[in-house]
Amino acid sequence: MPVSGQSFLQPMRELAQDAGALLMSLFGKVAIEYKGDADLVTQADRASEKMIVERIRKQWPDHDLLGEEGSRTQTGSDFRWYIDPLDGTTNFAHGYPVFCVSLALEHQGKRIAGVIYDPTRQEMFSASLGSGAQLNGKPIHVSRTLRLVESLLATGFPSHKRHKNPNIHFYHQITLRSHGIRRAGSAALDLCYVACGRYDAFWEFNLNPWDTAAGVLMVEEAGGKVTNFSGAPFSIESRQVLATNTLLHTELLHEFKEIFEGRVEGLPSVSEYLAG
């Protein structure tokens, strides 16, 4: 039986808001620790996840969950939570105020509800399957930009496998064909900004399920489209995310194909540049 995500939204918003308040109380006060080479974590990531997980386990004890900082419950429940207790950890750790809390709830393999809260701007994004997306309670919609040449886009560069990430080539080529690309450091917020029309599209390589679970639902419920880089439907395991206002999707897929096949505009070398 399909389950409505809507009834979960209010408790999810409360949870994200409380976790966001916790993050703000620690902002500027925590030390950087390392999970890997340039993969940062802070006490704030762990404290936020602990609070969220305790509350979920209390309110919905039979639900499964997956949290970025290691929380796992796998009992075969129909319900599964995806928790990013702090998306934008590198920003947070450096005192750069772009980060959020991201929560999504899945039922029988379908994401039915998602909330993303930016505590620095007090912006609460929420969406439930089939019922649209909202920012602070007001309906939001993707942009109406028709052409890449008139668009503002976003991308990101996860710390994981950064020596093998080809995204800088995509960054370069799409920069030449658009109004510009922002790289703010929180994939969940980037997806919200596509959903509310601040960006016309977003893409990223190598994301994890907790980075995308809520944001993809947000974009889809706001009238956008999300696929992998070949145009196949987005899957939570796919790691590639291309999210657009729908209108730009075909043009961006074409650009990606060109770049993957090596048809790119060159850059001047440093010595060419210096020679004028």
Q: Which residues bind ligand 2AM (CB under 6 A)?
A: 39, 68, 84, 87-89, 156-160, 185-187, 204, 206-208, 211
* CB of 39 or CB of 123, closer to ligand 2AM: 39
Give yes or no for residue 49 binding Ca ion (CB under 5 A): no
Tell me the C-alpha distance between 70 and 79, whole Å: 18
60-79: contacts with Ca ion (CB under 5 A): 68
Residue 109: Cβ-neighbour burial (10 angstroms; 0-12, 13-18, 19+): exposed
* CB of 84 or CB of 106, closer to ligand 2AM: 84
* CB of 68 or CB of 118, closer to ligand 2AM: 68
Binder of residue 186, out of Ca ion, ligand 2AM, none (CB less than 5 to 8 A by kind): ligand 2AM
Tell me the C-alpha distance between 263 and 255, whole Å: 9
Tell me how far apart the 2 most distant CA atoms of the chain are, in Å. 68
* CB of 20 or CB of 107, closer to ligand 2AM: 20
Tell me the C-alpha distance between 133 and 141, whole Å: 8
Binder of residue 187, out of Ca ion, ligand 2AM, none (CB less than 5 to 8 A by kind): ligand 2AM
* CB of 25 or CB of 108, closer to Ca ion: 25
How many chain residues touch Ca ion (CB under 5 A)?
4
CB of 91 to ligand 2AM, least distance (A): 7
CB of 208 to Ca ion, least distance (A): 9
Residue 58: Cβ-neighbour burial (10 angstroms; 0-12, 13-18, 19+): exposed
Residue nearest to ligand 2AM (CB): 156
CB of 185 to Ca ion, least distance (A): 11
* CB of 84 or CB of 204, closer to Ca ion: 84
Q: Which amino acid belongs to residue 103? A: L
The 82-121 site mask, x for binding Ca ion (CB under 5 A), equals --x-xx----------------------------------
Residue 198: Cβ-neighbour burial (10 angstroms; 0-12, 13-18, 19+): middle
Binding-site ranges for Ca ion (CB under 5 A): 68, 84, 86-87
